[in-house]
Structure 1
Amino acid sequence: MLKGLGALGDMAGMMKKAQEMQTKMVELQEELNTITVTGESGAGLVKATATAKGELTGLEIDPSIFVPSEKEVAEDLILAAIKDAQERAKERSAEEMQKLTGEMGLPADMKLPF
């Protein structure tokens, strides 16, 4: 299409690729809001659910951890489950970004968004 234009043709191709990437990034950001991950602690006594963007959406706590004398243990388990969910969200987000960069022919270790 723009073969005879040399560098200008290359620029047009790069602009098209950039627009495609921007569209896919927007789609991915929306998808990350719908992907959920679950972190847990205490062998599943506390489970935290979050979106792949890291937003906490749910917390499930086994009532057996609510022993008044072990308040700190319950708090630690809750925090650990939330941190686990956030870490899993971060990992899942990175996986999805790597898929996108691979589809676009970009290096796997390229950090997006810029």
Structure 2
Amino acid sequence: MRDLMGLMKQAQGLQQKFADMQAEFDTLEVTGTAGGGAVNVTATAKGLVKSVSIDPSLMVLDDKEILEDLMVAAVNDARGKAERLMQEKMGDLTKGLPLPPGMKLPF
């Protein structure tokens, strides 16, 4: 019975840490780049785009498709970085817990 109570207490502590981490993800920022840094997209770890920076040399009407492709690439780069950052932080949170292999949080 003691083990169950200890496990419940540990779960409550984990729940609070998880809530704190979710709030932190709103403030953590990543920057995705494309075109050798010609396009930069800054987003939160949760994927909310905060800013976009485009090198003025890309502002050519005939190259609209290139700019669109670079924007997509930069957003996808930022999203990938955000996902890796979240996985890293969640790994730190769950380190040492007796979770079955492959089990991810949140449940």
TM over 0.5: yes
Q: Which residue of 1 aligns with 2:90?
A: 97
Q: Distance in 1 between matches of 2:98 and 2:45?
A: 22
Aligned residues: 106
Map 1:1-114; keep pairs closer than 5 Å.
Answer: 8-102=1-95, 104-107=96-99, 109-114=102-107
Percent identity, aligned pairs only, is 44
- 1:105 deviates by 2.8
Q: Distance in 2 between matches of 1:51 and 1:106?
A: 30
The alignment's C-alpha RMSD in Å is: 1.4
TM-score by length of 2: 0.92
Q: Distance in 2 between matches of 1:50 and 1:20?
A: 29
- 1:106 deviates by 4.2
TM-score by length of 1: 0.87
- 1:81 deviates by 0.5
